[in-house]
Amino acid sequence: MTKQEKVQFVIDTLEEKYPEIPIPLDHKDPYTLLVAVLLSAQCTDVRVNKITPLLFAKADNPFDMVKMTIEEIKEIIRPCGLSPMKSKGIYGLSKILIEKYNGEVPKSFEGLEELPAVGHKTASVVMSQAFGVPAFPVDTHIHRLMWRWNLTNGKNVNQTEKDAKRLFPRELWNDLHLQIIWYGREYSPARGWSLDKDIITKTIGRKTVLDEYYKGKK
């Protein structure tokens, strides 16, 4: 297969498996999505979705959020991990949204990445899922799969994001990044991985990855 045929194989397989794409994090607007994505750093989406209803029952907008103390926010979000940093981030960005943006979430990468505790990946998720702007947020799952599929030699998520944007059509980015995440969870996890179920890696996988897998099965 040529590189282009491999890319098309990935697109076709993901489209077949995930014609309807569930959004992993529960939210109702750009602000609640921004907070949920921030909470998801080094925490599972399942856990975040258990915690956000508790937080949003008290504050689902920046104006109510700043009425709480950082300590109160921290207590609620503690199960998500990194709560000291995340609680300061949520309080701090809520304050800036009120002072600078009238309580609205900015619709630009620059505006989002200037907010406390918001990095490029978080900004990319908000831009794609809240505002429909083409973006390709790369998390550890996408990074792992792009490497397994020999579609990147990226040593970090930044390089993998550049490769993904170069290989895949821009109009598919928003769907694809979610389809890859779901595929990774279901068919190509980091642990307990069965290549028989993982049709994409089995078909186009990096030789060293496949060799290592088969060696481990002997």
Give catalytic residues, as residue numbers.
121, 139
H helical segments located in the chain: 3-17, 30-39, 45-58, 62-65, 70-77, 83-101, 109-113, 120-129, 140-148, 157-167, 173-187, 199-204, 207-217
Q: What is the DSSP letter of 102?
A: T
Q: Are 164 and 136 in contact (CB under 8 A)?
A: yes
∠ CA 175-177-181, nearest 5°, is 115
SS3 state of residue 168: coil
Provide CB contacts within 8 A for 198, sequence distance 6+.
Answer: 187, 188
Q: Give the separation between CA 173 and CA 27, rounded to whole angstroms.
A: 21
Please spell the DSSP secondary structure of 17-43, one letter per residue: H-SS---SS--SSHHHHHHHHHHTTTS
